[in-house]
Amino acid sequence: MSRVVVNVMPKPEILDPQGKAVTGALQRLGFQGLSVRQGKRFEIEVDGEVTEEVLAQIERAADTLLANTVIESFDVVTD
Amino acid sequence: MPRIGVVTFPGSLDDHDALRAVQLSGAEAVPLWHGSDSIDGVDAIILPGGFSYGDYLRCGAIARFSPVMSTVIDAAGKGMPVLGICNGFQLLCEAHLLEGAMIRNAGQQFVCRDERLRVETIDTTWTCAFTKGDEITIVLKNGEGNYQASAETLRKLEDNDQVVFRYLDNPNGSANDIAGITNERGNVVGLMPHPEHNVESLTGPSTDGARFFASVLQFLSVRA
C-alpha cells in the first residue's frame, strides 16, 4: 500500500477568514510574527505502485472534487 | 398548472418551505429526490437551502455529483428556470452552472438577519416580475455566504448585467456586494438570502419573496 497526499490551499488572492482568525489567536497567545493560511490535506491510500497513471488519476480527482479551483489550488505529493 | 420541483438532498433544510412557497404562488409543488435522475417533467427547479451531505468537503461539493444534478444541469442547459437558494446557490457554483464560489463569511460568524437587497436586473426567469432598482427585504442565514470570483469574472458579470441582487449592507464580505447572480442566459439564478421564507406576513418582515415565484410563473405563462 502506498500513500499519495493532496494538499489544497485557498488561492493567495482569496481572503482566508479561517487563517486570519488563527493568525489573530496565535498573536493573542504570544506567538509573534506568524501569519497562517489554512488549507486541507487529503491522504490517499493507493493499492499497489504509485505509477504515473495513478498520479494522473489523483490529479484528475483533485481537480474534479477535492479542490474547487475557482478559489483553491492543490498539489499532489507522493508520501 | 405549472409544476415546480424542489430537490431534497440529505441535509436539505428548507425544501419544505420552498415547496410551500411554490404552492402559495399557485403552482404545483413537486418534491424531487437527489438519488433519482428524474425531474418528473417539471417546468422549473429549485435547489433549496440547508447543508447537503453535511456540507462535507465544501458546501455543495458532494451534492453536485448526485444523480439528480446531471439531469438538472442538462435541463438548465436547455433553458429551464433553476433557482438556487443559499446551499442551492453554492451547489450551482460547484456545478459550474454559475460562476464564482462562496467562502466563509469575512467576520467568521454565522449571520442570521433580515437583509436589504437591491434588484439589479429583471432580465432573468426569477426576477422578471420586479422593477429594476427595487429594494427588498429577504432573510439571510449562513456561515459561508462570502461570494468570491476572479477579477475577470467579476468584470464579466458586471458588464453582462449578471449581478441580480446586491446587498445594501454587505453582511459577509462578498465581492462587489453581490448577493445573487445569474448565468448568461438568465434562466439560472442563485442567491444566498432565502425568498421562500418571505412569502407570508405571519412569518416574515416582508412578502418580497413571493415575487420570485410570481416571476417564474409569469415567465412560464408567456413561454407557454
The b-or-e profile of B73-109 (16+ CB within 10 A means b, else e) is bebbeeebbbbbbbbbbbbbbbbebbbbbbbbbbeee
Which candidate, B85, B140, B83, places its Cα nearest to that of B117?
B140
Given the residues B94, B128, B196, B197, the one annotated as active site: B196
Total domains in chain B come to: 1
Residues of B in contact with A10 (CB under 8 A): 103
| Complex ipTM value | 0.86
| Rounded Cα–Cα distance for residues B73 and B75 (Å) | 6
Q: In this complex, do B108 and A21 lie within 8 Å of one another by their Cβ atoms?
A: yes
The pLDDT of residue B98 is 98
Assign residue B72 the CATH number of its domain. 3.40.50.880
Burial of B174 (0-12, 13-18, 19+ CB in 10 A): buried
Grid cell of B27 as nine digits: 403552482
What are the tens digits of pLDDT across the range A7-29?
999 999 888 989 999 999 999 99
Given the residues B86, B94, B120, B197, the one annotated as active site: B86
Whether the model pTM is above 0.90: yes
The pLDDT of residue B152 is 96
Mind telling me how many Å the CA of B157 is from chain A's nearest CA? 15
How far apart, in Å, are the Cα atoms of A23 and each of A12, A19, A34, A36, B110?
15, 6, 7, 5, 20
Mind telling me how many Å the CA of A16 is from chain B's nearest CA? 8
In sequence order, which residues have a C-beta less than 8 Å from that of residue B127 and are 6 or more positions away? B119, B121, B164, B189, B211, B212, B215
Domain that holds residue B51: 3-223
The pLDDT of residue A15 is 86
